[in-house]
Amino acid sequence: MTVTPEYFRRNFDGSFDGSDDELSKLLELSVISADNYCAGNITRNFDRCSARQQELIKKAVCYQTEWIISNGGIDCLDDNGIASAALGSFSYTSAAANSSSGSASNTIKLCQTAYTLLLNAGMIYRGTVVVC
């Protein structure tokens, strides 16, 4: 399954100021993010999906790419949020700060719009592998 920079810019009307190579990397990361939530169903079964499902998946990848771009690039996928903060007598320490891996969760972040599109496409993993 491939969403090209041309598809992103022309069909989706997405905006990115960088090169096509940079955009291709972001699109690839978006496919990985989406595929993570679909238990690998996108990369394994995309060609077997209906045209409607394929279009919803491509849009989800594009929205995820825009989310990555607007949230600071690739680093936003590795950002675990605030580890600790203090203001006066109030202090907060997240579970991520106390874990050995430095991360409270091993999931890749997915924007809500992409998640909804994948859900509408019937691709979200719900405990069993679904073949399109």
Mean pLDDT for the stretch of residues 41-48: 91
pLDDT band, residue 39 (cuts 50/70/90): confident
Confidence of residue 10 (pLDDT cuts 50, 70, 90): very high
Alpha helices, DSSP H only, in 10-129?
20-37, 41-45, 51-70, 75-78, 95-98, 112-120
Scanning the structure block, which residue is given the tokens 């496409």?
Answer: 121
Average pLDDT for the chain: 82
pLDDT band at 102 (very low <50, low <70, confident <90, very high): very low
Q: Quick: pLDDT tens for 103-121.
A: 444 567 899 999 999 999 9
Does residue 92 contact residue 34 with C-beta atoms inside 8 Å?
A: no
